Amino acid sequence: MLIGLDARTIYAAERRGIARSLELMYRHLAEIRPDWRVIAYHREVDTEAYQDRLPKNWAEGKMIDMPGDRFDAWMKMRLPLAMVQDHVDVMHCPANLCPKWMPVPTVVTVHDLIPIDMPHGQQPGLIKRFDQSVKHACQRANAITCPSEYTRARLINDYHANPDQVVTTHWGVTTESTGTNQSRDRIVNKYGITSNKYMIHFGAGEVRKNTRRLIKSWSMLPFQLQQDWQLVVVGLDFTTLYELKRYASSLNLGDSVLLYDFVDESDLPGLMQGADILAYPSLSEGFGLPVLEAFEAKTAVITSDRTCLPEIAGDAAVFVNPTDAEQMAQTMHSVMDNKTLRDKLIEKGSERVTDFSWQNCAERFAQTIENIARHARGNAAA
């Protein structure tokens, strides 16, 4: 089996959850289907530092570029043409977008419908492109994979996708994504964490990550809690970082709130393992991988009661209304002030995380690939 993969997210210098999850799934796919091969198409010129993101001798990175690319011609024409020229068996478009022209059997991964649900701050043209791409996937792709039942149901109900062609492939979590125990002293010294207890939050400029409201909720906590704990926010672009530093300063939060841009990926496991609580009050998610990573790291979780997050967290988290800053503050207060509750959440999280594995995700994806390839061969023979 030869898979043609749109690997632009994997080769990006700054990666978020989708790229890390895609890499992990493909690494496990290599273990369970070692005789398969992958051509990972990308557009990065200098990818030497990223070559180890897919297994060597199983996946071949291949740059295909279009100087002067306009109207997204790389996706619309250059990528599918390369698939035909390289005689791939199946094309995989893993990041919500796909070409209208699908000359080979195609599986599209749709993680979420966030651009449709939360268009604030996004260019109308990009929203329209996203909507059209999802429609094309539902109408023309041989199969669609989703990381949650929530997204699968949305595609079936809102885009009239064929239920038989939409497959849920829950993501997993392994030591590859949580890492080995790192020195807490090294992490706290590097990031200026001076309190014995801290709460971690993976922020972003996107409104849906709810970072600004979380900081507002933090400001509502009793002063003594703010003295005993710190809120550590990572993953901010520089514009958002500057804005939120000004906002936190206006609330007189001082060193109680620590704000950082993109941190080294190698530090993320240590930051999670050292944290006492993960705050993940997102307004919308397609999966919410940090919740599982917190379970694996034995970190208590506070998360949103919206979209897919209750599906993923089960009974192992405390849920909040992410639009209510006061209620969020009250919930944070109760969890921060109750070690017995945190220990109970950690115990439940350790049980819950066993329901998710990259091996199961990769196997379900592999079966999807095999099914559409078999069907294509049958149609060709007929």
β pairing state of 90-93 and 59-63: unpaired
Sign of the Cα torsion 303, 306, 312, 315 reads positive
Spatial distance between the Cα atoms of 21 and 29, rounded to a whole number of angstroms: 12
pLDDT of 179? 47
Q: How many CA atoms lie within 13 A of 347 on its CB side?
A: 6
Mean pLDDT, residues 50-57: 83
pLDDT at residue 75 is higher than 60: yes
Question: Using 50, 70 and 90 to split pLDDT, how confident is the model at 69?
Answer: low
pLDDT of 12? 79
The tokens 């049958």 sit on which residue?
Answer: 378
**107: part of which helix (H) or strand (E)?**
strand 106-109
pLDDT of 47? 58
pLDDT at residue 113 is higher than 80: yes
Mean pLDDT, residues 266-276: 93
pLDDT at residue 71 is higher than 80: no
pLDDT of 34? 97
Higher pLDDT, 181 or 353: 353
In tens, the pLDDT along 324-345 reads 999 999 999 999 999 999 999 9
Tally Cβ neighbours within 10 Å of residue 248.
23
Mean pLDDT, residues 216-245: 96
pLDDT of 291? 97
In tens, the pLDDT along 311-322 reads 999 999 999 999
Spatial distance between the Cα atoms of 200 and 281, rounded to a whole number of angstroms: 12
Token pair in block for residue 135: 């429609």
SS3 145: strand
In tens, the pLDDT along 233-266 reads 999 999 999 999 999 999 999 999 999 998 888 8
Query: Which domains are assigned to the chain?
Result: 2-172+357-381 (3.40.50.2000), 175-355 (3.40.50.2000)
What DSSP character marks residue 33?
-
In tens, the pLDDT along 123-160 reads 888 899 999 999 999 999 999 999 999 999 999 999 99
Residues 28 and 361 sit within 8 Å (Cβ to Cβ): yes
Question: Using 50, 70 and 90 to split pLDDT, how confident is the model at 182?
Answer: low
Spatial distance between the Cα atoms of 5 and 62, rounded to a whole number of angstroms: 10
pLDDT at residue 362 is higher than 50: yes
pLDDT of 195? 93
Mean pLDDT, residues 355-372: 96
The 229-234 sheet, strands edge to edge: 257-259, 229-234, 197-202, 277-280, 300-304, 318-320
pLDDT of 52? 79
pLDDT of 180? 46
Largest CA distance in the chain: 74
Burial class (CB in 10 A: 0-12, 13-18, 19+), 297: buried
pTM: 0.89
